[in-house]
Every structure is written in C-alpha cells, then in structure tokens.
Amino acid sequence: MTVNRRFLLTARPKGVPKPADFAFVSEPLPDLAEGEILVRNAYASIDPAIRGWMDDAPSYMPPIPLGAPVRATTIGRVAASRHPDFAVGDPVMGVNGLEDYSVATAGGFTSKIDLSAVPEPTNFLSVYGAVGLTGYFGLLEVGQPKPGETVLVSGAAGAVGSVVGQIARIKGCRAVGIAGGAAKCQRLIDEFGFDAAIDYRGKDLAAMTAAIAEACPGGVDVFFDNVGGLILDATLPNINHRARLALCGMISQYNATGPVPGPTNLWFLIARVARMEGLLVSEYIDRWSEGAAEMARWIAEGKLVFREQIEEGLENALPVFLKLFEGTNDGKLILKISDL
C-alpha cells in the first residue's frame, strides 16, 4: 500500500522553528471527494513566507492549522482525479503541502502547467513562477523604475532579489544590492550584474546608513525590500524625493519572539514625499502570462540568469527551510520530494 509521508506542523514555533514543532508521519492515501484531485508532489518551493503561515496571526493567508502539513507551493503530477479537467499524469502546480501527496480542490490554487514552456520543470518554482513574477511585478508596478534611477535591493542574492536587480538593469537603472558576506556580494556583481554591492554583516544602523549613502551617491529612487528591520531603517534617510519602496518581505523578523519595532526613520516618508507599498504577487494573477512571457524572452536573450538550489528529501524539510534564515542557501531553494 502506498503511504503518504507528511511533514506536519504540530506547534506554533516560538522564534526559530525547531524539530519539536513538527511531526514527520506516514499515513494512508486519502480518499477523494467529488471534484478533488490527488497530486503526487515532486518539488516544493521553500519560501520565507512559509514562516509567517506557521504563526497564528492575521495575514494574507490563514495560518497553517496545527496538525496539517506545512503549506508550500509544489509542482507534481495528478495521481488520481475526480475532477473532469484533470487527468492522471497531468503536470500541475499549486499551493499544497510538504507531503508526498496533496489533495487539491477545484477552484483552489491548483492549475495545469506546460512543461515544454521551460528548460527545467523546477523553473516553475523559481524564475517562471511566483518568485520571478514577484520580482517582475513588484519592481515594475510598485517600484515604477525610470531609466537612470537607482534601485536598491535587499536580500539581493536571493531568489527574488537577484531577479529584481537584473530587471532594474534591463530597464536602464543603476542596481545596488545588499547581501550577507563577501562571497554573495561578489556574486551580485559577477553573476547578476549589479552595479554595486553592500555587505550588511557587522554593520549597525549608522554604518549601514553610511554604506548605502556611499553606494548610492545620487540617493535611492526605488527600494525593493525583502528584509525589513535595520536595513529598511538605514535606507529611509537615503531615499530621494518621490521614492518608491516596495515591501516584499521582512525576513529579518519572521523568527522574532515578540513585537519588532519599526523603522526609526519613518519620518523620511513625509520629508521625501515617498511611498511605501506592500507587495503580493497574487495581486497580478490576471497578468501572470504577460510577465512570464517577458521573463522567458529575457532568459532566452541571456539577459536574466538565475540559480536554483535543489535539496533532496522530504525528511530534510526543516534543515532545508532553516537555510533561508541562516542565509546559507544559494539561489532559489527547492525541495525535491520525488521524480516528476
């Protein structure tokens, strides 16, 4: 009998998630109700956002219920179907769980994917998927960059940040990236084509503020922020009149055990008549294909490069996830659950 190995959330993590917050279980395959499909998960996107879904706090998605598998976007194939639009073997992408098999419902987030559209199926979880399009729509729609402007990106060596910097360059902007450590900073310039890089490690607010000022002598017109906290605070005094700040994530505080104070320099939003705006790629779902087509063209033209780091094995879900917070991942982090 086929079993379903599942990585369940069993407690709300306090701070950094630890093994006791989870259970790794094997269960029988579930029965399907009318309209449902069973997805054999092959690859899961390991995203910082998952940490937020583990908390019992209001957000853009409901918390992961205790006892349910950890939520993740996956690609896989239909293993069984009671839905007329999905046949066994169809490749699909959806918001599922870290488990061998997920039950998806009609009208949910699951859709069929065309594997011929991409060099590798995992690209649907990186540059062709929500991650790449978060960078695309976030920079272009929220950031509204104009040629000659300076675009500052935090988490710049990460999956979203590296895309943002490259699109900024494609659009004629100066791209400045913030990352942790000399190796990542070097990669920003050598591999992703950023004009300048800032290593945030070991810098307090004053030092970080000065480093941004040095790297952005004409000020910051667009800030694409994946990090929040001190880096956001240090950016604010460096923003230009009518700057746009796209808030994509706040990874610096996802493991905080209490309220995290916001930036001390929020006043600069008024002084510089600037705009700070939250970003969720789901807002652009009706323009998804438009964005994907342009991303595909840039990749074909060699203007956009990206990295995927594929880790193996559902049983390694927690240590793989924690790489995001240690900053030890190297490109879009993907967990392989099975062959596609």
- Footprint of its own copies on this chain (CB under 8 A)? 58-60, 228, 233, 237, 247-250, 253, 259-280, 283
Cα 238 from Cα 246, distance rounded (Å): 15
Nearer CB in complex with its own copies: 82/275: 275
| CB nearer its own copies, residue 131 or residue 314 | 131
Q: How near is the Cβ of 276 to its own copies at its closest, in Å?
A: 5
Name the residue with tokens 């902007």: 173
Q: What minimum distance in Å lies between the beta carbon of 221 and its own copies?
A: 15
The three-point CA angle 286-287-290 to 5° equals 145
* Choice between 119 and 278, CB closer to its own copies: 278
Least distance from its own copies to the Cβ atom of residue 48, Å? 11
3-state secondary structure of 188: helix
Residue 159 exposure: Cα atoms within 13 Å on the Cβ side: 30
Nearer to its own copies by Cβ, of 59 and 111: the residue is: 59
Query: In the complex, what is the shortest distance from the CB of residue 90 to its own copies, in angstroms, rounded to a whole number?
Result: 31
**Closer residue to its own copies, CB minimum distance, 148 or 278:** 278
Q: Which is nearer to its own copies, 75 or 236 (CB)?
A: 236
> Who contacts 92 (Cβ-Cβ below 8 Å, separation ≥6)?
37, 39, 75, 76, 77, 78, 86, 104, 110, 111, 112, 113
Give min distance, CB of 281 to its own copies, in A. Answer: 10
Residue 180: how many other CB atoms lie within 10 Å: 18
Tokens of 161: 């940040």
Least distance in angstroms from the C-beta of 247 to its own copies: 5
Q: How far apart are the first and last CA of the chain?
A: 20
In the complex with its own copies, the residue whose CB is nearer, 92 or 133, is 133
Find the shortest distance in angstroms from Cβ 38 to its own copies: 31
Report the nearest approach of its own copies to the CB of residue 258 (Å): 9
Do residues 243 and 221 make contact, with C-beta atoms less than 8 angstroms apart?
Answer: yes
C-alpha to C-alpha distance for 157 and 161, rounded to whole angstroms: 6
| Pair 114, 36: CB distance under 8 Å | no
Query: By C-beta, is 41 or 134 nearer to its own copies?
Result: 134
Query: Which sign does the torsion angle of CA 306, 307, 313, 315 carry?
Result: negative
Q: How far is the CB of 264 from its own copies (least distance, A)?
A: 4
Q: Which CB, 177 or 237, lies closer to its own copies?
A: 237
- Cα–Cα separations (whole angstroms), residue 141 to 6, 134, 178: 38, 10, 21
CA 101 from chain centre, in angstroms, equals 23
Contact between residue 218 and residue 226 where contact means Cβ atoms under 8 Å apart: no
Q: Evaluate whether 231 touches 178 at the Cβ level (below 8 Å).
A: yes
Q: Cα–Cα distance between 207 and 199 in angstroms, integer?
A: 11
